[in-house]
Structure 1
Amino acid sequence: MLMKTAAQSLTEQLATRFGERIRNRLLAPGARLPSVRQCAQQQGVSPSTVVAAYDQLLAQGLVEARKNRGFFVREMAAALDTHAPGAMNQVASAKITAGAPSPHAPVNATALIRGMFHGSSDKPQPGMGVLPPQWLETTFMPAAVRKVTGTRALQEFSLQYGEPAGDSGLRRSLSKKLAGLNVPALPAQIVTTVGATHALDVVSRTLLRPGDHVMVEEPGWAVEFARLSALGMRILPVPRRADGPDLAVMAQYCAAHAPKLFVSVSVFHNPTGYCLTPGSAHRVLQLANEHNFHIVEDDTYSHLAPVHATRLCALDGLQRTIYVSGFAKILAPNWRVGFLAAPPNLVERLLDTKLLATLTTPALLEKALAWCIDQGQLRRHAERIRTRLDLARARSVKLALAHGCTFAAEPAGLFGWVETGVDTDALSQRMLDEGYLLAPGALFHASRQPSTLMRINFATTQEVAFWKVFARLRDAMN
């Protein structure tokens, strides 16, 4: 709670609290601040204190007032230097000019990413997209690095650029690994990248041009919406169902817009946890052949999924499909090792795009990863993680149900798609006061709109303390 001190008034404290969250992107551009009455109740201050604090935020250029709607975080807030000469004149005029809302909310995905790096508290964070660091601790990873950094070996590959497509040993290991998933990819069809997100970016920059239409599953990964929007693509949201994408909607898009690409998460879809069925996969591939578009299949969660899960790339044999994955979720987030496997006729174009952006990727960590795969260490580690995650999921689901939540999708994989009964954008702001970062449902849609859903990480929602705070604040909102 705010407490008046000689050094700082309640108004200044409240303005500082919101200002820090906006600058750290914990409050995303376009997010609505609580109403004056709601904020006064939440913070235990008078409405006049809230009005004065919001007025300070307006003067700093961090928020804007929209007539009859309230106060919203400005899209351009991060770029404003309020200490520069003339800056106060610029923001003063902004106080009386209500800006139009952005047509896309995807940029708000950066709030979740920055929250991951910023760390709102030392509590387990329900909105995180990764496993807890202690789950990923191993003894074999340091051993792998030591193995490949003998004095002579380290000097050999440190003093020259690596192989353009990535370490050949790793690409051979990945080829064998993909064969276990029934995805036929020769080492020459594999290109390593700086994480799976970079692989998706390489595909987009190679196959698309600004203005092209791209089909993306909705709800979907917030970062993908943001990334494609930043590249100037026109997003066509495809509703994701339990068996796969809505095929009728895809067919309509194909007839009306001739999309160039479809981005799909077939296995343990984020945020719902759905897995693609063979029948749906077959029809998606038929549409791709009929309407001449490519499919990029993001299999980021492959290490957590059963081997027999249906994958488009396995059924298609890498003809119209491109396979993307990485190792941040299961092994080493900061190693930033990802890869793509593509049809032979696309490999050189994709490689050219990679070279223009990064030249090559670091051979040291790629060689270490190859050792982890070849020695069976990664496989055994993934088995331990899956067992631990199964137990965590059971505990988290039980706590969620006990505190009045329901699941909009059958709990599976790393994430749960939870129905809360309240606006999770507003709830997430209240939870920040308690040290918890939520992932509100609006983040997972192409255009931001109020949602009562939220995505939770099963690994970080096993403590009853979080659910008690959640239930208290939700009930207060009701």
Structure 2
Amino acid sequence: MPALDAPLALSPTSSAGPALAQAPLALSRGAGTTLAEQLAQQLAERIRQRLLAPGARLPSVREAARRQGVSPATVVAAYDQLLAQGLVEARRQRGFFVRGAQGGAGPGAAVPVAGSVAAGGPGAGGSAPLDAAGLIRSMFHGRNDLPAPGLGTLPADWLDLPLLQAAVRKVLAQGDAALSYGHPSGDPRLREALAVKMAECGVRANPAQIVTANGATHALDIIARALLQPGDAVLVDDPGWTVEFARLTQLGMRLLPVPRGLDGPDLAVMATLAREHRPKLYVTVSVLHNPTGNSLSLGAAHQVLKLAEAHDFRVVEDDTYAHLAPAHLPRLTALDGLQRTLYVSGFAKILTPNWRVGYLAAPPALVDRLVDVKMLGGLTTPSLLEQAVAHCLEQGSLRRHAERVVQRLDAARPRAVRLAEAHGCRFVTPPAGLFGWVDTGEDTERLALRLHDAGWLTAPGHLFHATRRASTLMRINFATSQEARFWAAFDGARG
């Protein structure tokens, strides 16, 4: 049978429709749904995205069974479900064809977020952290002192509290930053320091192009509210960050998932989606991607920018993990010079999650619009914390702290890898950065529920897909996955 959760492959010599119809899909015998239901669901997703165009012929039952490694009866059951949904039609002695109109479930319909509250996934309103909001609630309200392998940040004992205390004391001693509103665009001192910091990664922006925010997530929200209207299509990495999927869906956007590979997005799928849907944005984590840890290659970055120009969409580059990554890795914004791109980053992943200081850099023509949206949503700027971050940048204390964290992470990563592999997990992508993307061989939604009951926060694979699907994958945080007792609990939750 095809590999579990295998990436969808496109034939470079075929049109997108036939290639997608024939490629093996990600079916899992260990999932909580039948193979027929999984096959029907994934074909329906491709039809709604117009990756299978109206009029396209599906493979014959026998051919689909051979390609998917399943029985013909499974394929018949899947095609029957697509017929019942009105997505395909059967033509006597010719086979099954994608219907030309799918009504409310058609290509223009919003794509539901996997596991989101809006989509009514498991965990919505429940206790298990199986959706975006539930995962965040669990991070904020830990049940005990157990390490959290599903955590999205560094553990507290990796952070430098004296550094933070010294920076705040210095700012308070210098003036009245805590007593008045800050500058709407952000503290001028911080924006000057950020321009210098960004230049180290090849991103050239003057301080007037930089707007601060209450964290990188807020910066992404400002961009979406300023540049998008409900119903607009947005390209996103798949797998990708569940909070971004949920946030965009809540704003009424249509998500267009692009499979993420070792070097970056699947360019053939991106081209098809761009041609069919005319997206307004592509939102991506190009360096130390969450959850795979991959980084964009230079060649892929160049091709993404060519597609953005050809199809007239902007690229939002979320460089949240910049402090953990080598400065030489390709940034889309550096190649583009902030013409069609916008750059986002923050300090939650390196200083402390509690200091909500993020920022964006944009083309000059967009800055006033972005500042207006920021002011309407948050009024002004927290100058005290912004000047404290500026102090950390100016004095080099943040750089030295980041170097220590990277050294510690480099030591933790192989230990976590050895433990994961010793307990039957396989890394789908080469381990890098903060996160590992592992195949457990079992439905990780079920595993997450069992482990949650035992007090362990994990991040099952279905959270990282824009449309809900069963998954045997799991994201682990290398900094919090080094304890043998977690892996013992992991073994106990299996089967």
Candidates 204, 208, 217, aligned match of 1:184: 204
Conserved 8 A contact 2:216-2:344? yes
Conserved 8 A contact 2:112-2:466? no
TM normalised by structure 1 equals 0.77
Per-residue deviation, residues 51-71 of structure 1 (Å, max 9, x unmatched): xxxxxxxxxxxxxxxxxxxxx
Q: How far 1:447 moved relative to its partner?
A: 1.4
Q: Does 1:114 align with 2:123?
A: no
Say which SS state the counterpart of residue 249 (structure 1) adopts.
helix
Q: How does 1:401-420 map to 2 (within 5 A)?
A: 401-420=421-440
Candidates 384, 393, 417, aligned match of 1:397: 417
User: In 1, distance between residues paired with 2:282 and 2:462?
Assistant: 21
Q: Does 1:144 align with 2:153?
A: no
Candidates 309, 323, 338, aligned match of 1:303: 323
**5+ residue gaps, structure 1:** 1-31, 35-101
Say which SS state the counterpart of residue 282 (structure 2) adopts.
strand
Q: Does 1:153 align with 2:175?
A: yes
Candidates 92, 96, 104, aligned match of 2:113: 104
Residue aligning to 1:384? 404
Q: How far 1:433 moved relative to its partner?
A: 2.1
Conserved 8 A contact 1:120-1:432? no
Instruction: Indicate how the Cα distance of structure 1 residues 467 and 282 shifts in structure 2: closer, same or farther if over 3 A, else same.
Output: same
Q: How far 1:103 moved relative to its partner?
A: 4.0
Q: How does 1:2-13 map to 2 (within 5 A)?
A: none
Q: How far 1:333 moved relative to its partner?
A: 1.1
Conserved 8 A contact 1:322-1:340? yes
Report runs of 4+ in structure 1 exceeding 2 Å deviation: 102-107, 157-160
Q: How far 1:153 moved relative to its partner?
A: 1.1
Say which SS state the counterpart of residue 203 (structure 1) adopts.
helix
Residue aligning to 1:336? 356
Per-residue deviation, residues 342-384 of structure 1 (Å, max 9, x unmatched): 0111111111110111111100010111010000000000000
Candidates 246, 250, 265, aligned match of 1:226: 246
Q: How does 1:44-443 map to 2 (within 5 A)?
A: 103-105=112-114, 106-107=116-117, 108-150=131-173, 153-154=175-176, 157-443=177-463
User: In 2, distance between residues paired with 1:263 and 1:274?
Assistant: 16
Conserved 8 A contact 2:139-2:151? yes
User: In 2, distance between residues paired with 1:257 and 1:225?
Assistant: 18
Q: How far 1:122 moved relative to its partner?
A: 1.2
Structure (1 or 2) with the greater helix fraction: 1
Say which SS state the counterpart of residue 175 (structure 2) adopts.
helix
Conserved 8 A contact 1:120-1:437? no
User: In 2, distance between residues paired with 1:380 and 1:161?
Assistant: 31
Residue aligning to 1:460? 480
Q: How far 1:158 moved relative to its partner?
A: 3.5
Q: How far 1:131 moved relative to its partner?
A: 0.4
User: In 1, distance between residues paired with 2:235 and 2:265?
Assistant: 10
Q: How far 1:160 moved relative to its partner?
A: 2.8
User: In 1, distance between residues paired with 2:423 and 2:230?
Assistant: 46
Say which SS state the counterpart of residue 149 (structure 1) adopts.
helix
Instruction: Indicate how the Cα distance of structure 1 residues 332 and 104 shifts in structure 2: closer, same or farther if over 3 A, else same.
Output: closer
User: In 1, distance between residues paired with 2:440 and 2:113?
Assistant: 24
Conserved 8 A contact 2:345-2:358? yes
User: In 2, distance between residues paired with 1:428 and 1:181?
Assistant: 37
TM normalised by structure 2 equals 0.74
User: In 2, distance between residues paired with 1:311 and 1:353?
Assistant: 26
Q: How far 1:120 moved relative to its partner?
A: 2.7
Q: How far 1:104 moved relative to its partner?
A: 3.2
> What letter corresponds to residue 463 of structure 1 in structure 2?
E
Per-residue deviation, residues 198-225 of structure 1 (Å, max 9, x unmatched): 0000000001000000000000000000
> What letter corresponds to residue 388 of structure 1 in structure 2?
R
Q: How far 1:434 moved relative to its partner?
A: 1.7
User: In 1, distance between residues paired with 2:170 and 2:324?
Assistant: 27
Say which SS state the counterpart of residue 332 (structure 1) adopts.
coil
Per-residue deviation, residues 402-442 of structure 1 (Å, max 9, x unmatched): 11110011110000001001111111111112210110000
User: In 2, distance between residues paired with 1:297 and 1:343?
Assistant: 13
Per-residue deviation, residues 4-45 of structure 1 (Å, max 9, x unmatched): xxxxxxxxxxxxxxxxxxxxxxxxxxxx999xxxxxxxxxxx
User: In 2, distance between residues paired with 1:454 and 1:33?
Assistant: 16
Q: How far 1:471 moved relative to its partner?
A: 1.5
Per-residue deviation, residues 57-104 of structure 1 (Å, max 9, x unmatched): xxxxxxxxxxxxxxxxxxxxxxxxxxxxxxxxxxxxxxxxxxxxx943
User: In 2, distance between residues paired with 1:365 and 1:33?
Assistant: 46
Residue aligning to 2:24? none
Question: Number of matched residues?
Answer: 374
Conserved 8 A contact 1:406-1:418? yes
**5+ residue gaps, structure 2:** 1-30, 34-110, 118-130
Q: How far 1:137 moved relative to its partner?
A: 2.4
Conserved 8 A contact 1:323-1:342? yes
> What letter corresponds to residue 485 of structure 2 in structure 1?
A
Supply the RMSD in Å over aligned alpha carbons.
1.5
Conserved 8 A contact 2:32-2:443? no
